[in-house]
Chain A
Amino acid sequence: MDENVTTAVLEQWVRRFAHLVAENRDYLTELDAAIGDADHGSNMDRGMRAAVAALDASPPETCGALFSKVGMTLVSTVGGASGPLFGTLFLRIGSTLGDDANAAPLEVAAALRAGLGGVVDRGKAGPGDKTMYDALAPAVEALDEALAAGTDLAAGLKQARDAAAAGRDATTPMLARKGRASYLGERSVGHQDPGATTVALLLEAATEAPF
């Protein structure tokens, strides 16, 4: 089995995610303007900036503290539906990883799966609803399968990234059944889901961190 990952490596993942959200802020907002209320990019960027500021202010010593801090910050700064959904994702990852300074690859995968469970509990979305679920669930599956096949964590995360990107692309032809986009009915078809796009960035960030 691989070596365990440290809190510091996981923190680099989170910081890389914040960087990608900032870079894609206007793009995410444009996607949201088409089927939502045109604030996803600016809200997520505000939240991740606040999260990075919180990490700067007091560097977390455990994996659980890291993700819990990010989750709480997102819940209290993002607003809308993205705050509770992405906040719950991080909080659930944090509570699963717990008070250890390191995490084994299987623990990382289990935490990501628990995060998905948190998103489902909070948002009640399932496959094909045109939400963040449609990128996150395939990524969780891909990581589990890769690790089960003996792949190391870094390579497994690359497979998860590809699965998230494919899931993100698959949201375009979907009819939205959750959130503000669902008011549009047929008019939501043909637009990529902003939440799924952000999830793909989260997995892309993982492959850019030194796992």
Chain B
Amino acid sequence: MKKLINDPNDVVVEALRGIEAAHPELQVDHQHKVIYRGDAPKQGKVGLISGGGSGHEPLHGGFVGLGMLDAACAGEVFTSPVPEQMLAATKLVDGGAGVLHVVKNYTGDVMNFEMAAELAAAETGARVVSVVTDDDVAVQDSTWTAGRRGVGVTVLLEKIAGAAAEQGRDLDQVAEVARKVNANGRSMGVALTSCTVPAAGKPTFELGEGEMELGVGIHGEPGRERLPLAPASEIAAMLVEPILADLTFKPGDPVIAFVNGLGGTPLIELYVMFNEVARILAGHGVPVARSLVGSYITSLDMAGASVTLLKSDDELLSLWDAPVNTSALRWGI
């Protein structure tokens, strides 16, 4: 393992110190490992908090700021934060208009956020609504599994719901927009290499030089199948076609197309992928209305990419275009 770390046990704590040092407009509650807006709580504005295991940066801490999240809770690497962290974050950002919890659909995350919401209601009376993202088409959605995993759509949801909150919409309206994003977004990823968790010191899974894992999860969970490595044009089809098969895109439906790097893949390859994704979508008559290319929801040092498509409309596009000022996403300001 070659990593720019000191002690593997200190990675999360030290990264939070780095975030605090690099971004004076943010505040960090080190005891609870919460990154929050310097101007929190904003009176009358719905607070948005998210969080999850660390190792997916810039998700979620990189999305704290104007027009996106009010606070992000950092768990240990690939481990859900605990309820008292989300409780602390909820108290920090509640400006009287209630708080939206954005939760990725993993069993631990869902339960810990649920307990936090119960504690918040009991301790502060704060109104909390939770929205769970579950956009990964690699997993069969059924009542007999934990359901689909929350992946790329989480980034788009935090941007769009964050804009709705910034506009002054109430908690139910912000939650409704968030659910609309999740319902209309789908993702699929591919890994070219495993990731290495610092505390483990060795790759999470073995993947041969000539192999790739199609449908991989952002913690290195197994995907749909292991296949021989293929050209980007073929890989793009393997990611886009299952999405189009899962969610009906009528010709002319505008989409926000998001090609995301998993941490160890250079931007030039992500643009090669985006070119292929755009070509496939054009072939289906699906116009790309907006795009996002870069590493925004990662899996430590994993090489690979995911594609997220969000079927949009004028409302979602105008919220997407609204100003955002965070360390990882910034435009319109």
Q: Interface on A for B, CB 8 Å cutoff? A: 37-39, 43, 75-85, 87-88, 122-123, 177-180, 182-185, 187
Contacts and interface: CB of A to CB of B under 8 A. Distances in A.
Interface in B105-137: 106-108, 111-112, 114-115
A5 B81 CA distance: 36
A123 B144 contact: no
Contact of B111 (A85, A177, A183, A184): A85
B78 A180 contact: no
Contact of B217 (A75, A77, A81, A183): A183
Contact of A75 (B75, B82, B139, B219): B82
Contacts of A180: 106-107, 146, 221
B144 A76 contact: no
A80 B108 contact: yes
B76 interface: yes
24 contacts: A37-B219, A39-B79, A75-B84, A76-B83, A76-B84, A77-B82, A79-B75, A79-B80, A79-B81, A79-B108, A80-B108, A81-B107, A81-B108, A84-B83, A85-B111, A122-B111, A122-B114, A179-B146, A180-B106, A180-B107, A180-B146, A183-B139, A183-B149, A185-B145
Contacts of A183: 139, 145-146, 149, 217, 221-222
Given A75-B115, A182-B145, A83 B200 contact: no
Interface residues of B, number: 27
A185 B115 CA distance: 28
Given A177-B144, A182-B144, A83 B112 contact: yes
Interface in B73-91: 75-76, 78-84
Please report whether the interface of chain A is mostly helix, strand, loop or mixed according to DSSP. Answer: helix
B218 to A, nearest CB: 12
A189 to B, nearest CB: 14
Nearest to A84: B111
Contact of A84 (B75, B79, B115, B139): B115
A123 B82 CA distance: 16
A38 B204 CA distance: 10
Nearest to B200: A38
A184 B83 CA distance: 27
Given A75-B115, A179-B146, A80 B222 contact: no
B82 A76 contact: yes
8 closest A-B pairs by CB: A84-B111, A182-B145, A80-B108, A81-B108, A81-B107, A179-B107, A79-B79, A182-B146
A84 B146 CA distance: 16
Contacts of B107: 81, 123, 178-180
Interface in B43-101: 75-76, 78-84
B51 to A, nearest CB: 12
Nearest to B138: A183
Contacts of B82: 75-79, 83
A140 to B, nearest CB: 21
Contacts of B200: 38
Contact of A123 (B75, B111, B149): B111
